[in-house]
Structure 1
């Protein structure tokens, strides 16, 4: 399952997982990947875990229980983007799968994505149907439009949700999560989740890799923005399915706070990053387009939203 040199054509997919604590959910994720890869006879894979100085023994667990996984230990918590780039530098696959340690793939998930990408060279990156374990519904974070001021406004005011059953209205008011799309059919999206990004190696390199200005959150929007600028499509393939234990790695979702092993300091850092990276992305890509007045309004709205949610510590 391993390969020796980056870009080795013999390796089809490099699965790169960044960990920071979360021993139990990481074990569950690696078990699912190992089971899926063991059932595969057509493609070659490698798994790489980059541990961001976890304190709960997750790195030792990976080393002890999953000897087939290449483990990289960082001496500090470098964040998702920087750690993922380290994993990429050690990888060999022609495709890269950046996965959170709270994902559970099915045996057919990866072969289906490889088949789609092999037959559609204009597609630079893709996602399966990420199914939220706690609801059984779609993870909308893997099915997004770009967060223009209009898209963000209609999302935070819930206009998108209120109009989603009427496709013409959803096309206008539901752009943040592309609520007018048929979730049973493959189609193009703007943004997929960083926690499950299946991307061509050469496209990832052309797009500039993960932008390490983002500690966590926002880097997926930024990467997808660059992929689109290169002229590639980003696709949603609902026939491929993976499960997402959403919030287990950050503790920011209300349903996961009782189960997540994230410590309070890390949860607070994740909460701040969730909102601060909105401003970072805006300044990188929208500041010149929309002008100073719109920027001031957008930043004020972000600050209000952040303050309103601070008491519960969820997003």
Structure 2
């Protein structure tokens, strides 16, 4: 990752800032060897994805900030190409790129905002019956052209400094998941564009940013619960109490539909139990977050 950034045309103007979010391995020692010029901020506790990135804001000096996950691997031309696009398009506030997995499989890279309805349709598999409803992950095109979108994943997240000064970075209430969704929502509301740029590729392994959360918690359902909580916070914030109520109704209906599908297809008690557990977790977190008005941590 650092080698690829060093090989870019913008290497001489690049400053490295790293937040170690209470890693339990030898990450700090490795970093000192691999990139001794980096400014390192080490947290004693895992403060979450958004809060960790927010710690970097006061140390920013350049015109742009690139948020890069530990599980994202860039090409040598990625930084220079994306900066070049931002320079040529001053109305672009946030830029994302084409993401592929370890085996080269295309990942959702150009996304629409979630709503109670499209989340329900996607989760239950009923989306095909409602083609006019925009999917959160639109994979029905080749991802080969530049496109303005609602939000881009945070594993490679290039932001104009002016945007950060205007709308801030991530809402600290999201511990993990929905940080960039919420941020892009605010960026677009402020009049900036969010753009998907396909002319360079980043390999995204996936799961490394969440890995430390799993390691630091013995509860096996921690990651799904974090996603559920962030979803509740997002819908309350951007859709109000009515939108939150609609989401809760559709979640319950969705769990019922999925349980019935599992029963009819003979998938067994485990699949049905997973639906029941999802419903229980969602309603419990609605209570624990006081109707999605505050986070649990």
TM score, norm. by length of structure 2: 0.78
Equivalent residue number for residue 225 of structure 1: 185
Query: Are residues 1:157 and 2:124 paired?
Result: yes
More moved, 202-211 vs 228-237: 202-211
For the 8 Å contact 1:127–1:235, the answer to whether it is kept is yes
Gaps of 5+ in 2: 259-272, 279-297
For the 8 Å contact 1:99–1:194, the answer to whether it is kept is yes
Distance change in 2, residues 1:292/1:77 (3 Å): closer
Aligned to 1:250, what secondary structure does the other structure show? helix
1:197 to 154, 157, 171: 157
Distance change in 2, residues 1:193/1:87 (3 Å): same
- Deviations 1:141-177 (CA, angstroms, capped at 9, x unpaired): x3210001222122112344x58xxxxx75x244212
More moved, 84-93 vs 295-304: 295-304
Equivalent residue number for residue 234 of structure 2: 281
- Displacement of 1:187 after TM fit? 0.5
Mapped to 1, the partners of 2:21 and 2:34 lie a distance apart of 19
Equivalent residue number for residue 76 of structure 1: 45
1:137 to 83, 105, 117: 105
Mapped to 2, the partners of 1:47 and 1:68 lie a distance apart of 7
Mapped to 2, the partners of 1:53 and 1:62 lie a distance apart of 14
CA RMSD of aligned residues (A): 2.8
Number of aligned positions between the proteins = 262
Q: How do 1:266-305 residues align onto structure 2 when only pairs under 5 Å count?
A: 268-288=221-241, 290-291=242-243, 293-300=245-252
TM score, norm. by length of structure 1: 0.74
Query: Are residues 1:265 and 2:217 paired?
Result: yes
Structure number, greater radius of gyration: 2
Mapped to 2, the partners of 1:202 and 1:309 lie a distance apart of 45
Q: How do 1:100-179 residues align onto structure 2 when only pairs under 5 Å count?
A: 100-134=69-103, 136-140=104-108, 142-160=109-127, 162=128, 170=131, 172-179=132-139
For the 8 Å contact 1:287–1:295, the answer to whether it is kept is no
Mapped to 2, the partners of 1:280 and 1:298 lie a distance apart of 16
Mapped to 1, the partners of 2:181 and 2:125 lie a distance apart of 21
Gaps of 5+ in 1: 1-31, 164-168, 252-259
Report 1 or 2 for greater relative contact order, CA contacts < 8 Å, sequence distance ≥ 6. 2
Distance change in 2, residues 1:296/1:269 (3 Å): closer
Mapped to 2, the partners of 1:225 and 1:128 lie a distance apart of 18
- Displacement of 1:38 after TM fit? 3.0
Distance change in 2, residues 1:129/1:87 (3 Å): same
For the 8 Å contact 1:178–1:189, the answer to whether it is kept is no
- Deviations 1:15-49 (CA, angstroms, capped at 9, x unpaired): xxxxxxxxxxxxxxxxx232332342576111111
